[in-house]
Structure 1
Amino acid sequence: MYRYFTAAKALTGFVRVTTPCARRAPEPARFYSTKGPGKPPDQRRPCSQPTKPIEPCRPKVALKEKCKSQMDDQPKPCGPWKEAHKKKNDNYNRILLLGLATTIGTLLLMWWYGAFNTTDDSDKSKKKKKISREVEKIPKDSSEIPSCVPYLLVGGGTASLSAFRAIKTKDPKAKVLVISTEGDNPYMRPPLSKELWFSDNPEAVKNLTFKQWNGKERSLFFEPEEFYVQCMELMDKPNGGVAVARGWKVVKIDPDEQIAYLEDGYQIKYGKCLVATGGSPKNLPLLENCANQDVTDRVILFRSIPDFQELDQITQEAKSVTIIGGGFLGSELACALGRRGKQTEMQVNQIFPEKGNMGKVLPKYLSDWTTEKVKQEGVKVIPETFLENISFEDNSLTLLLSNGKKMKTDQLVVAVGIEPNTELAETSNLETDEDCGGFVVNAELMARTNLWVAGDCSCFYDVKLGRRRVEHHDHAVVSGRLAGENMTGEANAYKHQSMFWSDLGPDVGYEAIGIVDSCLPTVGVFAKATEKDTPKAVVTATGNGVRSETETAAKPVKPSCGDMQPPKDGEDYGKGVIFYLRDDIVVGIVLWNVFNRMAVARQVLQEDKKYEDLNEVAKLFNIHGD
């Protein structure tokens, strides 16, 4: 450093530099010669003698005035080395800036990968935030949505899908606009709790494709993306089409003026309108009033594609998951997650207040059998129990149960049913049913002039069973189709007895129709099951996993001719028919591992009469395969 400082001063003319020898103590004179060793110089001066000073600048005559210094001027370097010196300094500066940028970049990368995070993995999980659920609006601006359309469908679920298919069938050049709050095009909900969980291909799950029980791959979406047209192009299409405005919400409908209002005030004039807003998953009152963000971030109300995607991601690493609810959805999810838990060593718990799985639907003996089946899938079933309190401790949820026990879990899934989306009733002066919920409609599913309602949110009058509201896929399909036909000029009444189905994996499934309530008296007739009596077998035979469609296409079944034989030991509840009675009249039927017999069940309900011997009625279903 001293040498550099001295050299810098010498260059600027502040000091005069002497040879190093002059600063040391005197010593005997030494002479140096360039004439070779042993030849003393003619005239040499010992190095101890002082040298002449080194002048900082000796300009040529032409530069004398330029280099001339004044008393107050700082010495300035001049001469031929000036440009080289500047070039060298610029090079040093570039190296310095490059090194500084490299250092900053390295520090940023270290910060990004958590090198400066002193917390352990448990602290990271504590700070983990819930996946964002913000829905992207497509189109981004409401001005790109047509302001006047012949057909307007409010809601983007199964009922709307079925309605626009019916409209296009009756009116091929129809122009249909769908307004959906969801960020996806219409899709099937049943596979979200069934087949999607049984896929071993992560890429297929990411793309929302799944294998049916027969191994055939299918997309979750009803139609491919190219089927739909852009909203702003809809009215210019000579052959019509279907456009879906995703992420938008209709907040008000004026039935008299036939105008729908979006959340930003944008108005859409319609000719015919269908309300098919569906339902939203119910929550527990305890969780609705919970102000702890750490708790609410670890609760999923399961219903939609984002719910599936979030739960799928969480269960890749979670050590434990607890499901609240013992109905169709809760039991299906329990079996699906139990299968995954066997692969990842994840503990799966299921809590519900009933005595057994699907205890509100199945008779006790069959509910108990189903509970054992769920347990065999690796699920810890906790019946007759409800959640009393919940807290966040040690980076996980602590559940206080009604039996006094505490339970730790990483994630809570709530599957306790849905409630109809009827917010439009108040803003649009539409009538709702106090007992069943939903918009009140007539037999043609009409709520007001040129305004129909279909799907989960419709409350219709059943001539056999009274006013009802049904929350199943088959009802959404059939009611949506009938509403769509009536929007094109038909005047058909809704007389369909909708069915529903549930699968506890590929080996056990059932279908039901009518009023199936475990509080009603039941009569069950069972037989030994075979390899053909499984959901997997029926999908393999028909090539279709949507059983409301396979039942519609099923061929008639010949009744049994022989006597009904009770099942032997070990054959209990392999397959069978359960009749639900009210005043000794069959009002509901469950087909347990019996498929393609729904037409027979509808016929029995249509009879609306008392039967002296239900064993004879069971022969109509030919469960013994005669």
Structure 2
Amino acid sequence: MSEKRYDYLILGAGMAADAAARGIREVDPDGTIGILGRETTEPVARPALSKKLWTDPEFTLDQVWLGTAEATGAELVLGEAADDVDLSARVVTTEGGREVGYERLLVTTGGDPRTLEVDDWYDSGRVIAFRTIHDYWRLREYAAAGARVAVVGGSFIAAEIAAALAQQDVEAHLICRGPAPMASILPPRVTGRLTEAMERHGVRVVTDAEVRTGEVEGSEGPVRLDMADGREARYDLVVTGLGVDPATGPLADAGLKVVDDGGIVVDERLRTSDPAVWAAGDVAVYPDQILGRTRIEHVDHAQESGKAAGRSMAGADESYTHTPYFYSVLFDDFFEAVGALDPDGGLVEDWQGGDDPLDRGVVYYGTRDGDTLDVTGVLLWNVEEARDAARAVIADGPVPVDALRGRIT
């Protein structure tokens, strides 16, 4: 017998969980909701941890809390990760031995940060795999002390953290394995502009550098990084932004259908292979109406799919039809993107700036066949209010290249 049983139990206490609880309440005002989260804090607006809290003086720490319990009446059980899920009994057992029952279950467990494979680094407190508000607080301590910080990774989260630190007068080094920050999603002309801007604002960008090993040298540091090419460097603190893997935990072992990378397969209503279980956010592999079956790790998807899953759990007969976008703000530039951005595929660049064409423009990604491009993704560089237009281009299928230039302005 479980200690407590909920009409709706949500695994994970992030933004998708918050949106799901609100979605449930839109359909069912009375059903009991439990949120079981491995983090010890209530849901927060996670993008602010690497964006507004560093760059917007009017955005305060009080504004990151989402107020989930107050808005929805959900009971939060925090600091308790799921260790086992019994789908037949509809019971979740936590790592601490707590048993929680459910009538309907939603998985919004997000992602586990990838880490450097160096023993005990992250236990030292001087190497942070940036993800939570606790990581933000720890990084703020070092920023206030004027530390020398290395940010390892070429992801957009790594670039945002390095930029945020530089704006706090911290000596920040961004160490990328590839040729430039965000080279896996941005075309070379854009990464060149971005690198120049970061250097101009005080970030030292170190490219083609792979961290192989290292050591925390004593209880007070520093942290030594050893590169594959023989270089070494020492820092007061190291932050890693290497992407995430879907945090499916015990769900795959429980028998839910998953794909090779661990994502949980759901249908158009975000329901899994078990009729009493849904999944949303980073862990869900869902059938996007434009992109096909995919898995997306960005906040817009977490919120929209969380809300849709909550409504679906509560009985709304609706499909999830939203194609998400993601965004970043780096110094004077910002971008939004819809779809899959692969700069190694076909590209059509439509730059529309004034004195510097790269001040503003649109980049279309896809598969090139002669004079046509089958568009799979759109980058909006300093272009506002054009996400729906980008979705329309992707939905059109193959488009003549000449017709793309000037289509979105």
Q: TM above 0.5, one fold?
A: yes
Distance 2:336 2:45 in 1: 18
Contact 1:424 1:430 in 2 (8 A): no
Matches of 2:247 and 2:156, distance apart in 1: 21
DSSP 3-state at the match of 1:313: helix
| Paired AA for residue 617 in structure 1 | L
Unaligned stretches of 5+ in structure 2?
none
Give the direction of change, closer, same or farther, for the CA distance of 1:282–1:292 in structure 2 (3 Å limit). closer
Instruction: Report the equivalent of 1:587.
Output: 376
Shift of 1:610: 2.5
Check 1:433–1:270 CA distance in 2 against 1; reply closer, same or farther (3 A cut). same
* Paired letter, 1:151: Y
Structure-1 residue corresponding to 2:104: 272
- SS of aligned partner of 1:315: helix
**Structure with the bigger percentage of helix:** 1
In the alignment, the residues of structure 1 paired with residue 281 and residue 158 of structure 2 have an alpha-carbon distance, to the nearest angstrom, of 21
Aligned to 1:355: 179
Q: For residues 494 and 488 of structure 1, what CA distance do their matches in structure 2 show?
A: 14
Q: Which of residues 165, 168, 174 is equivalent to 2:25?
A: 168
Distance 2:57 2:319 in 1: 45
1:379–1:277 Cα change, 3 Å: same
Shift of 1:321: 0.5
Secondary structure (helix, strand or coil) at the match of 2:238 reads: strand
Q: Structure 2 counterpart of 1:310, which letter?
A: R
Tell me which residue corresponds to 2:335: 510
Residue 208 of structure 2 aligns with which residue?
A: 384
SS of structure 1 residue aligned to 2:17: helix
TM-score scaled by structure 1? 0.61
Contact kept, 8 Å, 1:577 with 1:594, in 2: the verdict is yes
Summarize the Cα distance change of 1:308–1:367 in structure 2 as closer, same or farther, 3 Å threshold: same
Taking a change above 3 Å as real, the CA distance of residues 358 and 274 of structure 1, as seen in their structure-2 partners, is same
Match of 1:608 among 393, 397, 403: 397
1:219-256 deviation line (CA, Å, top 9, x unaligned)? 0012276446xxxxxxxxxxxx3221111222222222
Structure-2 change in CA distance of 1:607 and 1:438 (3 Å): same
Amino acid aligned to 2:92: A
Other structure's SS at 1:350 match: strand
Cα root mean square deviation, aligned: 2.2
Contact between 1:318 and 1:410, CA under 8 Å: does it hold in 2? no
- Mapped to 1, the partners of 2:321 and 2:68 lie a distance apart of 32
Change (3 A) 1:430 1:338: same
Alignment match, 2:281 = 455
Matching residue within 152, 157, 161 for 2:14: 157
Aligned equivalents of 1:471, 1:612: Cα separation in 2: 30
1:571 aligns with 2:356: yes
1:210-225 alignment, distance < 5 Å? 219-223=63-67
Deviation at 1:368, TM superposition (A): 0.8
**What letter corresponds to residue 250 of structure 1 in structure 2?**
A
Structure 1 equivalent of residue 155 of structure 2? 327
Displacement, 1:517? 1.2
How far apart are 1:314 and its partner, in Å? 1.6
Q: Give, in whole Å, the separation in 2 of the partners of 1:243 and 1:576.
A: 46
Q: Deviation per CA, 1:64-97, whole angstroms, max 9, x where unpaired?
A: xxxxxxxxxxxxxxxxxxxxxxxxxxxxxxxxxx
Work out whether residues 180 and 192 of structure 2, in 8 Å CA contact, stay in contact via their aligned partners in 1.
yes
TM-score under structure 2 normalisation? 0.92
- The CA deviation string for residues 201-226 of structure 1, in whole angstroms up to 9 with x for no partner, is 8xx85xx23xxxxxxxxx00122764
For the Cα contact (< 8 Å) 2:106–2:280, is it kept in 1? yes
For the residues of structure 1 that align with 2:99 and 2:150, how far apart are their CA atoms?
A: 44
Find the aligned partners of 2:312 and 2:302 in 1 and give their Cα distance.
15
Q: Equivalences for 1:48-447 in 2 at 5 Å? A: 147-198=4-55, 208-209=61-62, 219-223=63-67, 226-227=70-71, 241-285=73-117, 287=118, 290-291=119-120, 296-341=124-169, 346-393=170-217, 395-434=221-260, 436-447=261-272
> C-alpha separation between the residues in 1 aligned to 2:140 and 2:258?
36
Cα pair 2:348 2:401 within 8 Å, conserved? no
Whole-Å separation in 2 of the counterparts to 1:424 and 1:437: 11
Q: Which residue of 1 aligns with 2:305?
A: 479
**What secondary structure is seen at the aligned counterpart in 2 of 1:619?**
coil
Is the 2:124–2:216 Cα contact (8 Å) retained in structure 1? no
Q: Deviations over 1:272-313 (max 9, x none)?
A: 11111111111012x2xx2578x8431011010000000100
Contact in 1 for aligned 2:112/2:244 (Cα 8 Å): yes
Structure 2 partner of 1:619: 406
Q: Residue 391 of structure 1 aligns to which amino acid in structure 2?
A: E
* AA in 2 matched with 1:582: T
CA distance in 2, matches of 1:391, 1:267: 40
Paired positions, count: 402
Deviation at 1:464, TM superposition (A): 4.0
Give identity over the alignment, percent. Answer: 29
Write the deviation string for residues 23-58 of structure 1: whole angstroms up to 9, x where unpaired.
Answer: xxxxxxxxxxxxxxxxxxxxxxxxxxxxxxxxxxxx
Structure-2 separation of matches of 1:472 and 1:259: 29
Q: Aligned equivalents of 1:292 and 1:192: distance in 2?
A: 22
| C-alpha separation in 2, matches of 1:191 and 1:389 | 31
SS of the equivalent of 2:308 reads helix
CA distance in 1, matches of 2:271, 2:120: 41
Secondary structure of 1:460's aligned partner: strand
Whether the 8 Å CA contact 1:147–1:269 is kept in 2: the answer is: yes
Amino acid at match of 2:211: L
Q: Where does residue 324 of structure 2 map in the other structure? A: 498
Q: CA distance change for structure 1 residues 258 and 309 in 2, over 3 Å: closer, same or farther? A: same
The one-letter code matched in structure 2 to 1:357 is: P
Q: Secondary structure of the residue that 1:191 maps to in structure 2? A: helix
SS of residue in 2 equivalent to 1:477 = helix
